[in-house]
Amino acid sequence: MNTLRLQLRFLVPLILTLVAAAYLAVPVMDRLTLRWFARDLSLRGSLVTKTLSDSIAEDLQDSRSVRLQSLFNRVVQDERLVAIGLCSLAGQLLRHSPGYPATLTCQQASDVAQQDNPQLRIEGGPVHVGTYPIIGDSGPLANLVLLQDLSFVERRSQDTQKYLIILIAGLGVIIALITVIVAQLSWRGWVSGARALLRGEGLISPMMSSSPELAPFAAELRVRLRDLEDEYRRSLGPEVNWDPERLRSLLRTQLRGDQLIVVSNREPYIHEQVGDSIVVKRPASGLVTAVEPVMRACSGTWIAHGSGNADALVVDAHDRVMVPPGRDEYTLRRLWLSAEEEQGYYYGFANEGLWPLCHVAHVRPVFRESDWQHYRQVNQRFADAVVAESRSEDPIVLVQDYHFALLPAMIRKRLPRATILTFWHIPWPNPESFGICPWRQEILEGMLGTTILGFHTRFHCKNFMETVDRYLEARIEHEHSTISFHDKNTFVESYPISIEWPTAQTVAGWPAVEQCRRTVFERLGLPADHRLAIGVDRFDYTKGILERLHAVERLLEKHPEWIEHFSFVQVAAPSRGSLEEYRLFQDRIHAVTARINQRFATPNYTPVHLLAEHHEHQALNELYRAADVCVVTSLHDGMNLVCKEFVAARDDERGVLILSRFAGAAREMSQALIVNPYHVEETADALQRALTMPEAEQRERMASLRMTVREFNVYRWAGRMLTDAGHWRLRERIEARVQRLQPELL
């Protein structure tokens, strides 16, 4: 209907123009043909006169001659010649043929012949009047008047008019038809082009590529799409019901089942040789805790360093093994590192350099040239593995963490069409702090190979953008949260990570809270009415374990009534123990624990239990369920998942969470008791408040915390990132399209 209206808008003026043209052309055509014929007739008249001249001259000598009369009679037998008259020089009609009008005098004939249009209408129809002098030897003798038939001109003129009108009408029809066809095709082309633009398809119908007129439209569309995306993200707000199925359907619909590749240093399953058998261990890692359920939901390939001593025994010829063991839901591709590589890249550059650089924990970063070389080399090896595992030119690659700052640009170089999502699990410092890294520029450039760069909080995003602004020549669009570097855009966004919310089936398999409490208390030798606070961490100086111990000590000082009635259990999973900074820290924790225990212990009472060993997940869950208080006092933490695990474990809605304001989680979990871990007094008071908190208040706070974590679960984290990736892929396709249409617009 729209096309018809459009075409009519074009056709009506066209038809009117053609009618007007015909209306104007016909009289012009008439006049022209008449002039042509008049000229022909004059020539013809001259010819006839010349032929008759001699006979007329002779005849004029002899006034009695009748030859001329009979000559005239013969000549007028020519159907075109109507009549002939011979006039004397004095204007007297001397002779004339039959048919010569009796009323036509020589003078009249001469007057008409002088006119522009020497025409006369006589009885038989219109005639052309011409007068021609007869020249003898002595000069002009007489004038010959020739009346030639003009009715054939009228007939021909009518014919010409008819043909002209038919021609114009025919032309009109042909032009109208061509217009309709071209308009239809163009409209279809534009519509399908626009639809394809909206779908973001790179290979739109061939017609589109020859439609530069769509370029401004596409540019406009691009801007509009961005705004829509921003609106869409804002409108997302709190969402409910993110679960594995929703994530899977997102991959099916928005990402059309594209291949998903995860890269991380730590592997989700470690095979260890214990005696004669091989056991599978789950590492103590927040990253693994978060990403593993996502991979189980989405399948795909996870590339990681094979660090277990039996890892190589269980892989196939391509270093792949299906995991989780026995369930075979996704592929784990192991990459082997030499001892030097691991030392330089992992322990050296990543954990002695970048880790303290990004955490404000007052531990100096160490930067060694050799570590940097290993870091680059290992990043390159992982990039090669990504390319090798990639089944298409545009896989979705999820790069995990600070071990792979250079990887995005390396992948981008080999797979320019890949969608690379990099998630930085730790904080990003301010530009001054980051500036002390000798390879700050290379790191930033490496990270900007990323399509979407995620941090836990807006604050970390802001720090990153300011750092780029300070050290690179890049264009930053704060409004859209994008960085444009070397003609490539990176979208920087906050995606607060989380945990997998336990299903009803999982919860049904857990022992009851009372049972957990009995088991844990028996194991620790605590009386039933004892109060228990716990801390669960990797044994890391950023987690605030020392400050926590000081707070426990201060609590016992300030409130001695808790002696023999309250204990604190710290699970400290071994981590990076080969680094001196960690060893010193761990020694210090052991020493402070011993000191506190010495100070407050009684024969049957140990105030602090330091469990510096790896625990199975189920043992941790038991501990979470047995505790009255969970203490998370990180000095600086990207997010912190322990606090979320504690909340998820408390389906009885009891227990109190004490949470550091310097953990990313504090922004979501405001119903916890929020503390500054550097302020020992404040943390000790929070412990006192937690231990004395009425059950109703515990329930209220816990119920609210549980709602938050259930809603903001890890599937939402991944879902939001993958949704943004889907939108980004759409926009990239459009931009590629726009670039092909009119590069100068970009």
The answer for residues whose C-beta is within 8 angstroms of residue 126's C-beta and 6 or more apart is 119, 120, 150, 151, 153, 154
Q: Which of residues 480-509 bind ligand GDG (CB under 6 A)?
A: 497
638 binding ligand GDG? (CB under 6 A): yes
Question: 432, 454, 456, 434: which is closest to 443 by C-alpha?
Answer: 434
721 binding ligand GDG? (CB under 6 A): no
Binding-site member from 45, 85, 286, 726 for ligand GDG (CB under 6 A)? 286
Tokens of 58: 């002779």
Q: Which of residues 39-98 bind ligand GDG (CB under 6 A)?
A: none
Question: 287, 293, 288: which is closest to 248 by C-alpha?
Answer: 293
Cβ 660 vs Cβ 544: under 8 Å: yes
On the CB side of 730, CA atoms within 13 Å amount to 21
The answer for residues whose C-beta is within 8 angstroms of residue 247's C-beta and 6 or more apart is 294, 297, 298, 715, 718, 719, 722
Binding-site member from 290, 468, 592, 709 for ligand GDG (CB under 6 A)? 290
Tokens 């009715």 sit on residue: 151
Q: Which DSSP string corresponds to 418-433?
A: -EEEEE--S----HHH
* E-strand stretches of 231-349: 260-263, 270-274, 277-281, 301-305, 320-323, 330-335
287 binding ligand GDG? (CB under 6 A): yes
> Which CB sits closer to ligand GDG, 97 or 265?
265
Helix extents (H) in 332-480: 339-341, 355-358, 369-389, 407-414, 431-434, 440-447, 458-471
Q: Which single residue brings its beta carbon nearest to ligand GDG?
A: 286
Binding-site member from 113, 421, 461, 639 for ligand GDG (CB under 6 A)? 639
Least distance to ligand GDG from the beta carbon of 305, Å? 15
Q: Contact letters (x/-) for ligand GDG, 558-577, by CB under 6 A?
A: -------------x-x----
Q: Judged by CB under 6 A, how many residues of this single chain contact ligand GDG?
A: 26
Least distance to ligand GDG from the beta carbon of 495, Å? 10
Tokens 């008019």 sit on residue: 161
Least distance to ligand GDG from the beta carbon of 384, Å? 26
Tokens of 616: 């199975």
> Which CB sits closer to ligand GDG, 260 or 284?
284
Binding-site member from 307, 390, 467, 640 for ligand GDG (CB under 6 A)? 640
Tokens of 705: 């915390």
Least distance to ligand GDG from the beta carbon of 520, Å? 15
What is the total residue count of the chain?
Answer: 746
Q: Contact letters (x/-) for ligand GDG, 592-621, by CB under 6 A?
A: ----------------------xx-x--x-
CA–CA distance, 285 with 575 (Å, rounded to integer)? 10
Q: Which of residues 412-451 bind ligand GDG (CB under 6 A)?
A: 425-426
Q: Contact letters (x/-) for ligand GDG, 376-415, by CB under 6 A?
A: ----------------------------------------
Q: Which of residues 522-541 bind ligand GDG (CB under 6 A)?
A: 536-538
637 binding ligand GDG? (CB under 6 A): yes
Q: Compute CA 279 distance to the chain's CA centroid, rounded to the nearest angstrom.
A: 44
Which residue stretch of 19-27, 285-293, 460-468, 713-721 sits at the interface with ligand GDG (rule: CB under 6 A)?
A: 285-293
657 binding ligand GDG? (CB under 6 A): no
CA–CA distance, 235 with 241 (Å, rounded to integer)? 16
> Which CB sits closer to ligand GDG, 117 or 670?
670
Residues near ligand GDG (CB under 6 A) are 282, 284-287, 289-290, 425-426, 497, 536-538, 571, 573, 614-615, 617, 620, 637-642, 645
